[in-house]
Amino acid sequence: MNKIKQILQNRKVSTYVGILLVLILVIIGAILWLTKSTTNFVYQTENKEVSIYQGSFRAPSLVAESAIVWDIRGGKAIYQKNAQAPKPLASLTKIMTALIALERVPQNTTITIDSNSLEQEGESGLIAGEKWLLKDLIDFSLIESSNDGIAAVASAVGAISLGTPDNRGAGRVSFIEAMNQKARELNLQNMSFSNESGLDIYNETDAGAMGSAEDVARLFSYFLKEHPNLLEATTYSDLSLQSLNGNFHLAKNTNEALDRIPALIGSKTGYTDISGGNLAIIIDPGINYPIAIVVMGSTFEDRFPDMLRLSQATLNYFSSNN
């Protein structure tokens, strides 16, 4: 009798185990099906892998000639429009200038504003002979999009790197060569620089720097990884900064859409007659999931509504997939 009971109990346990295994397989199958229905697929275009998310991202109408929404952690595009086409960078160039300066000398390096740098287009209130900490001058130059400030950074850091602080011309040339070398190191295939500011050259017939929307997104991604504290300043609508001489300078952000972009981590504008309106930002629509968004070849005014529409579409995309 005891043996019979034991056999029945063993069968009951086996039945329960069998049911449990079936349930586990059903759950795993459901998870795999759901995952398959929401993950992205990859196709080849121009020998590059481009990630396309299936039917979830609703791209808005844009004035910009090229644009990209770049998943920084995943290293892939969520959305793109002519994202590999070379375009004039205008002041988006200043991100690379800041990067090279920070890689060559410490953030607390003293930078002196030279008179040659003040000959750049635009007036931002800097004074010849004025001394700045490198970090503060970079903050000022990125927020204000100061051409003379960023030129002073390139001239001084380039000269310091050569070990000849008075040789401003050679230092600047060396610095711009380093910018181009860095673009090659980062595999930014369409990015090149003729100056440190992105201003048009040769009587405004040629661009001072070129690059694609994807190049800019990748550069922003690298900058975020290496110098996240330098992007924070670009999220302020204005910021008062003090030179080492004790002079206060109010930097006003050139991004007019700044206060209307949620979860903003970093921002940089760009505009010249040749480039049209450019704007690049980084947002975080999730917990520690940064996304770079770039629009290029828009107009001076339309780059801001272009970016607002594209950033909202990005936030909607992440909201619908989480």
CA distance 224 to 207: 26
Query: ∠ CA 196-178-290 to the nearest 5 degrees?
Result: 75
Contact 128, 120 (CB under 8 A): no
Give the SS3 label for residue 44.
strand
Phi, psi (deg, nearest 5) at residue 70: -115, 120
For the record, the structure tokens of 76 come out as 């892939």
Please tell me the predicted confidence (pLDDT) of residue 121: 82
Q: Which residue has the tokens 């200043």?
A: 94
- Strand runs labelled E in the chain: 41-45, 48-52, 66-71, 76-81, 87-88, 110-112, 131-133, 192-193, 209-211, 238-242, 248-252, 264-272, 276-283, 291-298
How would you label 198-234 residue by residue, b for 16+ Cβ within 10 Å and e otherwise?
A: bbbbeeeeebbbbbbbbbbbbbbbbbbeebeebbebb
Output the pTM of the full model. Answer: 0.80
In eight-state DSSP terms, residue 81 is E
Q: Which CATH class is domain 48-320?
A: alpha beta
HSE (CB half, 13 Å, CA atoms) of 25? 6
For the record, the structure tokens of 220 come out as 């922003």
- In order along its 322 residues, the chain shows pLDDT tens digits of 444 444 434 444 455 545 555 455 555 554 444 433 333 323 233 333 333 343 478 889 999 999 999 999 999 999 999 999 999 999 999 999 999 999 999 999 999 999 888 888 878 889 999 999 999 999 999 999 999 999 999 999 998 877 665 555 677 778 999 999 999 999 999 999 999 999 998 766 799 999 999 999 999 999 999 988 889 999 999 999 999 999 999 999 999 999 999 999 999 999 999 999 999 999 998 888 999 999 999 999 999 999 999 999 999 998 876 5
CA distance 321 to 23: 26
HSE (CB half, 13 Å, CA atoms) of 42? 11
Query: ∠ CA 112-113-119 to the nearest 5 degrees?
Result: 155
CA distance 68 to 274: 20
Contact 117, 137 (CB under 8 A): no
Angle between helices 134-144 and 147-162 (to 10 degrees): 150
Please tell me the predicted confidence (pLDDT) of residue 202: 74
Phi, psi (deg, nearest 5) at residue 114: -95, 155
Please tell me the predicted confidence (pLDDT) of residue 14: 52
Please tell me the predicted confidence (pLDDT) of residue 166: 54
Please tell me the predicted confidence (pLDDT) of residue 228: 85
